[in-house]
Amino acid sequence: MPFVKTDFSIPLSELRRESAPSKAQEIGGNNFRPVCLKCRVFEGPPGSAYAEFGGTKVLARVYGPTDDPNGDSNAASLSVTVLSDEGGLLQCALMAATLALADAEVLVLDVVVAAHVARTPSGEWIVDPTSEQIVSGTSECTLALMPNQNQIVCCDIRGGHVTSSQIDEFITFATDKAMKLYPVLRKALLNTLSKENASSC
């Protein structure tokens, strides 16, 4: 993996201040941890994002466009930096990556929303579980989908024994939870656009 030395710094304590507030929380045992999504967290050209689900925090940044060995002058690379991981890392990284790509105005079919859910051996569902909540025999699923295309782009199921009918239940449950993050993701993008338009006036 290439190493890139940088001279930038970002005060992480400032990220929460102007982030999109989470509307993804529900009443009962199906709560997302506090969610923070923000675009354009680095100075300079757009193409960066920050995602936080509780204690899991990720930065994503797009570099490019550059020429790749195949002669494509529109190639871009995406760097994801894990600041802390308390569970649901793939969910958090996918959300940061889709925001960074949108911020960089990379042409994509759709944005991606992702949810990490788990099911205990007793059959109870947990939304956005922490590492401590994953005990022996717990099954986990991280599902990402493009909401406007109605397509699943990632379905990572692991842990305890899962039958084919339980896979269907996982997909249905995780899809419903992922869609609850769509308004939060959309607001983070709109906040960036409104600041951009205000500064250009």
pLDDT at 106: 86
The three-state DSSP-derived secondary structure of the chain is CCCCCCCCCCCHHHCCCCCECCCCCCCCCCCCCCEEEEECCCCCCCCEEEEEECCEEEEEEEEEEECCCCCCCCEEEEEEEEEECCCCHHHHHHHHHHHHHHHCCCCCCCCCEEEEEEECCCCCEEECCCHHHCCCCCEEEEEEEECCCCEEEEEEEEECCCCHHHHHHHHHHHHHHHHCCHHHHHHHHHHHHHHHHHHHC
- Phi/psi of residue 178, nearest 5 degrees: -60, -40
Answer with the residue of higher pLDDT: 60 or 67.
Answer: 60
Q: What is the pTM of this model?
A: 0.79
Domains (range + CATH), the chain: 12-195 (3.30.230.70)
pLDDT at 105: 87
Please name the amino acid found at residue 93. A
Question: 5-19, 24-38, 106-120, 127-141: lowest mean pLDDT where?
Answer: 5-19
Q: What is the mean predicted confidence (pLDDT) over 71-95? A: 89
Answer with the residue of higher pLDDT: 82 or 72.
Answer: 82
